[in-house]
Amino acid sequence: MLRLPPYQYHRPTSLDAAVALMAEHGDDAMYVAGGTDVVPNMKHRLFEPGHLIALKSIDELKGIEEVPSSNVKEGVLRISAAETLTAVASHPRVRDLFPALADAAAHVAGPQLRNSGTIGGNVCLDTRCTYYNQTHFWREALGFCLKKDGDVCHVTRTGKKCVAAHSADTPPVLITLGAEAVLVGPNGRRAMPVADFFVADGIVNTRRSRDEILTEIRIPLASAACRQAYVKLRQRKSIDFPLLTVAVAADVDGSGLVRSIQGVVTGLGSRPRTLTKWNDVAEGRALDGELIDELAKGAHKQCHPLENIIVDPEWRRAMVPVFVKRALEQVTQE
């Protein structure tokens, strides 16, 4: 049986207290929300914090509501970071306004994990790799790797870069909806588009500094006018992390012509990838079979999965156009 290492558990009830605890314990502390990723990773000795700072008792991190915004005219849907994935997937306003997000949240792991796992933890989820998400014993036998305790990457076979895969379901959808992430830390509050939150570095793949708390996600209500879709490739129909996900949002006018369209894939590289040139190809055209084929072929050219997940990268690449097509066909059926 894998056991947890010893640690001290803190349960602050305000954001200020949580940030102060992090300042007190520094590199020996980590935030934890639902713990559905932190706990298994601690058992594998991937994270070894002496202090866990729990976020779920902080009221400022609760609630899903429509609120006015100083920079978005129509207002935003505010989803607080400690809301569970079950709450996001079943919330009536999320389902009405942003069905692709409800769908993505409902596809994370299985029901028990969604009851505990949060949207904040999903957005801040660690990257995953065949050579990393293993026990200490397993990793030690291979000489560890660049991301943790070692100095070489077993995927790229160099000591330069970690290419572990971004493996969270909700961020691609949030990107297509133009959502913003709000962070609070010792230097105050800042906000950035979810599209800019991620970086292409498998070791730490976000711009959040380790002492910052993601407090909420803000989705422009205007994005609700877009037709949305989300599809996921995984080994089984439940529990499994994505091998590939595709999120699409399309703004289509009254005569069925595309005003703008965005597609984001993940499960391949270290951050979600926005498929390029979609607007150049699609603007002003009907979203018909011909256009769908063009966009799907373009996606295939742009995506080159690596051996960071156990499933054959060539097969995953072959699945890219198949799943892009499925997402686009879903959008046309709305």
Question: Which residue ranges make up the site for ligand SF4 (CB under 6 A)?
Answer: 129, 131-132, 145-147, 153-155, 162-164, 202, 308
Instruction: Report the residue closest to ligand FAD, judged by CB.
Output: 121
Least distance to ligand FAD from the beta carbon of 284, Å? Answer: 35
**Binder of residue 83, out of ligand SF4, ligand FAD, none (CB less than 5 to 8 A by kind):** none
Other beta carbons within 10 angstroms of residue 259's beta carbon come to 14
**Binder of residue 299, out of ligand SF4, ligand FAD, none (CB less than 5 to 8 A by kind):** none
Least distance to ligand FAD from the beta carbon of 22, Å? Answer: 10
* Separation of alpha carbons 65 and 139, rounded Å: 44
**Binder of residue 162, out of ligand FAD, ligand SF4, none (CB less than 5 to 8 A by kind):** ligand SF4
DSSP 167-216: --SHHHHHHHTT-EEEEEETTEEEEEEHHHHB-S-SSS-BS--TT-EEEE
The site string for ligand FAD over 1-40 (x = CB under 6 A, - otherwise) reads -----------------------------xxxxxxxxx-x
* Separation of alpha carbons 252 and 268, rounded Å: 28
Q: CB nearer to ligand FAD: give 214 or 282.
A: 214
Residue 10 DSSP one-character state: E
Residues 6+ apart with CB under 8 A from 236: none
Other beta carbons within 10 angstroms of residue 71's beta carbon come to 9
Q: Is there binding between residue 88 and ligand FAD (CB under 6 A)?
A: no
Q: Return the C-alpha torsion angle 87, 92, 97, 101, nearest 10.
A: 30
**Binder of residue 199, out of ligand FAD, ligand SF4, none (CB less than 5 to 8 A by kind):** none
Q: Is there binding between residue 171 and ligand FAD (CB under 6 A)?
A: no
Residues 6+ apart with CB under 8 A from 11: 54, 57
* Separation of alpha carbons 16 and 242, rounded Å: 35
Residues 6+ apart with CB under 8 A from 208: 124, 183, 197, 214
**Binder of residue 121, out of ligand FAD, ligand SF4, none (CB less than 5 to 8 A by kind):** ligand FAD
Could you say which of 108, 194, 221, 319 contacts ligand FAD (CB under 6 A)?
Answer: 108
Q: Is there binding between residue 185 and ligand FAD (CB under 6 A)?
A: no
Could you say which of 29, 46, 77, 109 contacts ligand FAD (CB under 6 A)?
Answer: 109
Reduced to 3 states, what is the DSSP secondary structure of residue 233? Answer: strand
- Rule CB under 6 A: which residues touch ligand FAD? 30-38, 40, 55, 81, 85, 108-109, 113, 116-118, 120-122, 124-126, 168-169, 213-214, 239-242
